[in-house]
Amino acid sequence: MPPFYRADHVGSLLRPAELLAARAAHASRETLEPIENAHILRVLERQQELGLDVLTDGELRRLNFMSDFTDAVEGFDFDDAVSRTWKDAAQPAAPAASKVSGIVTSTLRQREPLTGHELPFLRSHAPGPIKMTLPSATQFPAISFKYGITDRVYSDPYALLDAVTGIMTTDIARLATEGVAYLQIDAPRYSYYLDPKWTARMEQELRVNAPEMLTASLQADNACFAAARQPGVTLAIHLCRGNNRSHWYAEGGYDAIAERLFHELAVDRFLLEYDDERSGSFAPLRFVPKNKIVVLGLISSKRAELENKQDVLRRIDEAAKVLPLEQLALSPQCGFASTMEGNLLTEDDQWAKLKLVAEVAREVWG
């Protein structure tokens, strides 16, 4: 059985000002790399000091949570990015961040391993078990397929999904044999099925049937998990409702797809957002099989205010009435920097929240 990793986190950490300034100045790779290395060593040490059970490099080498894919694969045009509304229409739109949604304009061709510039350093310097994060293949049909352009290469979003999945399965299979203890797929697009306005928008923009696309999405992610399944490697998926500069775009509980999601996805762990009322109740956790763990994302990575420890403990108790305590763990609801600009809080806020995760996990699970 994979380790339980009770004190978990989604992966990305706030970029330090020095690194942001170097990127803003379009510094060369030779200039950037030592800055990245120094700060990755720093955040690794801090994660260990706080008592987190698994360590990441904070995605400090990435422009955004999926740029490991777009940097390694040819075929994306970032000058024709699709405009997306990251928040509910009743709220101000998120400010423009690093471009995250290049349009596929030619056949996808992989130039290098997806995490080839990240894993060697992390594996050599991490003082504990390491987690590598990868974007779900399901992300790209949602943001990178544009009719009139992409369909000249891939006939429809399903064809693009198949192409991305083929690349992902090859790389994740390699990662699973290269000393990575924990592989996590980040999958924001399942939130489309939780929020009726986004389900309708998906069907309209992508010209797909939502139930059919859900089935295709589950199959794509499962192909990646099957490729990565190795003894001693923990496999997880993180479900997100948007995290660009502390903004969000979808809301709704997991009820609509919980039974299929929890039963069909061949993972060890689900990292679920549960930081506010947009996430719904714990009731859907009743569908989680006995051999799977739910990581409760009770600590907000969007707000600076530190959660009250007793409130967190109370909510864990509430969840444990639906799913046994031994099937639960704790983390922030999302990463702190899905794009390099990061969420609207400070590094001190970030570390305080991760410290709270570790402290509560020790108190609850020992």
- What is the model's pLDDT at position 244? 62
- What is the model's pLDDT at position 247? 56
- Closest C-alpha among 201, 286, 210, 198 to residue 240: 198
Whole-angstrom CA distances from 19 to 69, 128, 285, 350 are 21, 24, 40, 17
- What is the model's pLDDT at position 129? 95
Res 69 pLDDT > 90: yes
287: tokens are 């569908």
Assign 95 a pLDDT band (cuts: 50, 70, 90): very low
Residue 28 covered by a domain: no
**Higher-pLDDT residue of 242, 364:** 364
- What is the model's pLDDT at position 239? 93
d(CA 268, CA 234): 6
Residue 47 covered by a domain: yes
Give the number of other CB atoms < 10 A from CB of residue 129: 17
- What is the model's pLDDT at position 92? 36
Show the CA angle centred on residue 57, arms to residues 51 and 62, nearest 5°.
Answer: 150
| Structural domains in the chain (count) | 1
Residue 114 covered by a domain: yes
Beta strands at 73-77 and 103-110: parallel, antiparallel or unpaired: antiparallel
Residue 303 covered by a domain: yes
- What is the model's pLDDT at position 2? 72
- What is the model's pLDDT at position 240? 86
CATH number at residue 175: 3.20.20.210
Encode pLDDT of 245-280 as tens digits. Answer: 555 556 678 999 999 999 999 999 999 999 877 778
Q: Which domain holds residue 319?
A: 39-365
Whole-angstrom CA distances from 123 to 105, 173, 175 are 35, 17, 11
Mean residue pLDDT across the chain:
90
- What is the model's pLDDT at position 139? 93
d(CA 188, CA 165): 16
Encode pLDDT of 183-222 as tens digits. Answer: 999 998 898 888 888 888 889 999 999 999 999 999 999 9
Encode pLDDT of 300-316 as tens digits. Answer: 998 999 999 999 999 99
Res 328 pLDDT > 70: yes
- What is the model's pLDDT at position 194? 86
Q: Say how many CA atoms lie within 13 Å of 8 toward its Cβ.
A: 34
Residue 100 covered by a domain: yes
**Percentage of the residues of the chain whose pLDDT score is greater than 70:** 91
Residue 34 covered by a domain: no
- Closest C-alpha among 248, 275, 251, 202 to residue 93: 248
